[in-house]
Amino acid sequence: MEYLITEEMIKNSLVSSGDISRIAEVIKKAKSGQDITVAFLGGSITQGCNATKQEDCYASRTYLWFKNTFSDVNVRYINAGVGATGSIIGVHRVEKQVLSHNPDIVFIDFAVNDKNTIYDKVAYESLIRRILSAEKPIAIIEIFMSNFDCSNVQEQQIEIGNKYNIPMISFRNTVKAEIEKGNLKWEDVATDEVHPNDYGHFIISEILIDFIKNILNNINKFEDTEALTREIESENSIFGEDYINGIIRNNRNLEVKK
């Protein structure tokens, strides 16, 4: 099926380009013949809920673009989408499910699963700081999905993203603008109150891919630049980093002391 996306839709999706040097490093690494790992961390949307096939999910579509674009190297795909989880669970999952795979770039999707609470704000900032403080520089792109009424908590996540100069892309902004102009109805892009259909997944993947393609097309500008590890420990947080070292405990990793 042919899906429509316009330049205006792509333009409306960009919240902030942020510091793209880390994304440029991923591209340069792949172009030099080195394997890369692309990871996605989020809830059920990232998991691919309600996409017709897993290949129709935005995460898979975006990964396949990397794979096809850099066909001479191995592009590893990590999908750490878990339904009904937000940043509080996400920051506890990130070490085992994402960072242990040594990713080069991580896409984060928690704008509809999080709430406007201090706990979620602290958890999201803890997650960002944890990834940024990894031993090697890891690129991050924040993704903002949408509820049926065009609500989400992207504003609190934008505040955090601006603090750390992270690229941010909003599916919500794109869809909201199209609905307000009468070009779309929510039912055109979603299967229920929150989960995108195949067209919705197509839109988010295309706006992500367009953002990365623009960096790829201008990669010569980054020939003499290098993404540096950020000294997160020396920077004050906005909301806090209480969960930065969080892990999930269960009967397999708990030790009972008598």
In this structure, the chain runs to a length of 258
Query: 144 — phi, psi (to 5°)?
Result: -120, 105
For the segment 128-159, what is each residue's pLDDT rounded down to a tens digit?
999 999 999 999 999 999 999 999 999 999 99
**Above 80 in pLDDT, residue 224?**
no
**Above 70 in pLDDT, residue 229?**
no
d(CA 41, CA 34): 23
* Residues 48, 80, 47: CA angle, nearest 5 degrees: 10
Give the pair of three-digit tokens for residue 15.
Answer: 């919240």
What integer pLDDT is reported at residue 56 of this predicted model? 98
Structure pTM?
A: 0.96
pLDDT band per the 50, 70, 90 thresholds, residue 235: confident
For the segment 35-62, what is each residue's pLDDT rounded down to a tens digit?
999 999 999 999 999 999 999 999 999 9
Query: What are the helix and strand counts (H, E) for the chain?
Result: 10, 6
Alpha helices in the chain (DSSP H): 7-13, 21-31, 44-47, 58-69, 87-97, 118-132, 154-163, 171-180, 186-189, 198-217
Q: Map out the domains of the chain with their CATH numbers.
A: 13-234 (3.40.50.1110)
For the segment 90-143, what is each residue's pLDDT rounded down to a tens digit?
999 999 999 999 999 999 999 999 999 999 999 999 999 999 999 999 999 999
Query: What percent of the chain has a predicted confidence (pLDDT) above 70?
Result: 96
